[in-house]
Amino acid sequence: MKLAIFGANGPTGRLLTGLALDQHHDVVAFTRHPEAFPIEHPHLDVRAGDVGDAHAVTAAIDGADVVLSTLGVPFAKAPISVYSVGVSHIIDGMHAAGIKRLACVSSSAVGPHPERLGGFVFEKILQPYVVNRLGKTLYDDMRRMEATVSASDLAWTIVRPSGLFTAPAVSAYDVAIDHIGWRFTARIDLADCLLRQVDDDAYVRSTIAVATPSAKPSMLKLIWQEGIRKSS
């Protein structure tokens, strides 16, 4: 199949692109910085563009069979619109090209957990600080993105990872509808889960959670790497 990947130059997007090429898909990798894209392959087409540019997005989608989005930006105090504006342009481009299958990355922080996933410090201090202050504008825009995707007529799947970290290989990760009882997700597992949506319709028009049960990274380290350091 031919896949259009948005956010391809991010840490998850690069992994997703590599896995897709390993599985013999043709890939259009959409990025603002094609000169920095580290992968070369005869079945890879690296496209320069910004998801805020509707014409560039539509051009990248034309001819694809499936669209995958790993769009991501750092935490910021200012309003964020990359997710909602980007997915609106992606949906418009898919309509123009007659493409139905879309899978996009959101976050477990967008929806509340029914399970208690940590002790007092995590539940009462760390999680509220990250969701309601440090990442408020980001998660607000993710919610707008999810609402736009779920209201569309596409064959969509929203994928919600938990605290993202780096791991060397795909693990025996877990997937569940809406919520999952684990706090961490390896990026390579997230990438593999996204790629599985290309050929699997089990989660069409569903929001799914993906997590790596075997993981035990430091939550403070992840918050620093994924939020504070990137936004500084």
Higher-confidence residue: 81 or 77? 81
Overall domain count for the chain? 1
pLDDT value of position 13: 98
Which one-letter amino acid corresponds to residue 130? V
Query: Mean pLDDT throughout 8-17?
Result: 97
- Which DSSP helix (H) or strand (E) runs through 137? helix 136-150
Q: What are the pLDDT digits (tens) for 139-186?
A: 999 999 999 999 999 999 999 999 899 999 999 999 999 989 888 999
CATH number at residue 212: 3.40.50.720
- Identify the domain containing residue 26 by its residue range: 2-231
Distance of CA 2 to the CA centre of its chain: 19
Structure tokens at 64: 């694809």
Whether residue 146 contacts residue 104, with contact meaning beta carbons closer than 8 Å, is answered with no
